[in-house]
Amino acid sequence: MISRSVTIPSLVVLLAAAGCGGNRQGGVLGAYKTRYCASGFHSVGSTRLAWAAVARRPMRAYRSPGRRPFARFETLNLNGVPTVFSVVGKIDGGCTTRWYRVELPVRPNGIVGWIRAADVALEPVDTRIVVDVSARRVVLYRRGREVLRTTAAVGAPATPTPTGRFYVNQRLIPRDPTGPFGPGAIGISAFSDVLTGWTQGGPIAIHGTNEPWSIGRNVSNGCIRVRNPVLRRLFDAVSAGTPVLVRP
């Protein structure tokens, strides 16, 4: 697993993206194929195990396999973190996986595309996060079992927390741990539905806070705030590719 820090203007970025640099493609995931290596589309992932696809090189995403690409991704994202996708399906050709269907970290929220299997390395992910906006609650699961439950602050009425299926795509360490993000931020693939002019398009994160009184309220710009000790536990527990379900 890569674990190094890169300094950028306001954040130090921890590169710990689901074992970035590792390559288990054709290994563990391949074990799910039938003994006959049947071709065709197969769904991937469950509430106990998911898969992260880490970019090996600059690459493209396609609306369907073999068609014209509609998005391009560099090996590292704008924060210098390895580009990661959440795998939801695959197409096998004989005994070889040729394409992965993945969730993409782009606007608008919920975009899914296809990427070439040769362009990514796969890593298993056994954690999952569920955010309940109306209950202002965050729950962490590992291998399908609840391991952490906490109260959170969520978006204010004018800047609501977007709902849907997302995934962790980066982990960020603020330069100042006493600032508004607290000791860390877990970036997810969602973007604010209203703050489109913000830096990098208004990405959403689960992060700490320097306003602990705000926990349990609808006061944020769309991000999910938790108490700093809880954020540290979450930060250490999850890796890039962790599915994040945000319920209304």
**Facing residues of 130 across strands?**
139, 245
218-220 and 154-155 as β-strands: parallel, antiparallel, unpaired?
A: parallel
Is 183 within 8 Å of 175 (Cβ atoms)?
A: no
Q: What gap in Å lies between CA 87 and CA 80, rounded to an integer?
A: 21
Q: What are the φ and ψ backbone dihedral angles of 208, each rounded to 5 degrees?
A: -80, -165
First to last CA, the chain: 34
Backbone angles phi, psi at 194, to 5 degrees: -120, -30
Of the residues 20, 37, 95, 223, only one is catalytic, namely 223
- Token pair 């399906």 in the structure block, residue: 89
Active site residue 223: yes
Catalytic residue among 20, 37, 42, 207: 207
Backbone angles phi and psi of 226, in degrees to 5: -130, 165
Q: Indicate the SS3 state at residue 119.
A: helix
Backbone φ, ψ for residue 98 (5° rounding) = -105, -35
Q: Is 20 a catalytic residue?
A: no
Cα–Cα distance for residue pair 57/50, rounded to 1 Å: 22
Catalytic residue numbers read 207, 223
